[in-house]
Amino acid sequence: MKGEEEIGSANLHTILREQKDKFAADFAVISDSGMVAKDQPTILYGLKGFTGLEITLKGPDNDLHSGLYGGAIKNPAMAMADLLMTMKDKEEVIQVEGFYDHVEPLTYDERELIKNAPSEDYSVSTGAPETVSEKGYTAKEHTMARPTLEINGLYSGYQGEGTKTIIPSTATAKLTCRLVPGQDPEQIQDLLVKHLEKHVPKGVELMIKREALSAKAYKVDPNHTLIKKAAESLTETFGKEAVYVRMGGSIPVVEWIDASYGIPVVLLGFGTSDDRLHSPNESFPVAHFEKGMKTLVYFWKKIKEDQKNSSLTVYLQGYKMYLNHSLLIMEE
């Protein structure tokens, strides 16, 4: 199946809800995730949830001359900077009241799994001069298993070459939160709105647009039999032991499948940190297509061996060519 992730998966969500019986299955397999390092097989046992807002601060009806009105009229761009600074402190701790109330704490075992996974060299992969992380957590723990709040877009005033001495009429920010188990997207949206309304500076009007697409976080027991079979399959393909991690990204359909069918979702992904996700020149290694198909063949065989006396219905989403090729290889 094609998941339509980049456009909100509206049709898939509707089909899963309205034609539930047609997709009854024992488990689901999704190949839409990645590996912590090139050629390091990775079992992904958790995903973050997602929610967001678009905030606009309106000041004057139109852009004003900064010499004639500066100091008398509130600058929406400055007001936006002040407002956003109330949401997170310098230690990366989110200051929205109630934001962490229902967050499931990281267990010792999970922190050990994350610690033992290969560490990405962020300076090489991103070009950023240094890393930051929430107080009390490593950067790896923060990205994989702690909630975040990020500004994804920020614009106001004159954007052209040179200078235009104005007070802009509006300022807009787009922000999203990546959520962890225990957090409800709609409740988090409500908390964000309440915080913004409480802290909006004087002299500007606050307008909020809620992000329609949201998803809860997902986590499966890393000791589940299917997860262990997936890890064994990866090891056979790559020749080394798989590591277990959670991912900072979101795949909304995973939570929908979990909510609708109550079945485990196996995340068998083969992307790398060099793929430039959501950026120009996004790519995927050709060699990993082949390794992905081999892994899935091993996985199906292990499931078949384990379930000789029962038939399994399998739901596959992601690199849709895998299933067809896997079945052909198995037949041969």
Per-residue pLDDT of 302-323, as tens digits, reads 988 776 544 444 444 443 333 4
Q: Characterize 80-101 residue by residue with b for buried, 16 or more Cβ atoms within 10 angstroms of its Cβ, and e for exposed.
A: bebbbeebbeeebebebeebbe
Over residues 219-239, mean pLDDT = 93
- Which of 56-70, 256-270, 272-286 is the most confident on average? 56-70
Give residue 6's pLDDT: 66
> How confident is residue 330, by pLDDT bands cut at 50, 70 and 90?
very low
Please provide the average confidence, as pLDDT, over all residues in the chain.
87
Pick the closest to residue 13 from 21, 180, 5, 320 (CA basis). Answer: 5
> Residue holding tokens 């060519």?
321
CA dihedral 249, 252, 254, 258 (to 10 degrees): 130
Residue pLDDT, tens place only, 127-173: 889 899 999 999 999 999 999 999 999 999 999 999 999 999 999 99
Angle at 183 between CA 227 and CA 110, to 5 degrees: 40
The single-letter DSSP state of residue 3 is -
Give residue 42's pLDDT: 92
SS3 218: strand
Helix (H) or strand (E) holding 64: strand 64-65
Q: In order of start, what are the domains of the chain with their CATH numbers? A: 5-48+218-331 (3.40.630.10), 50-103+147-210 (3.30.70.360)
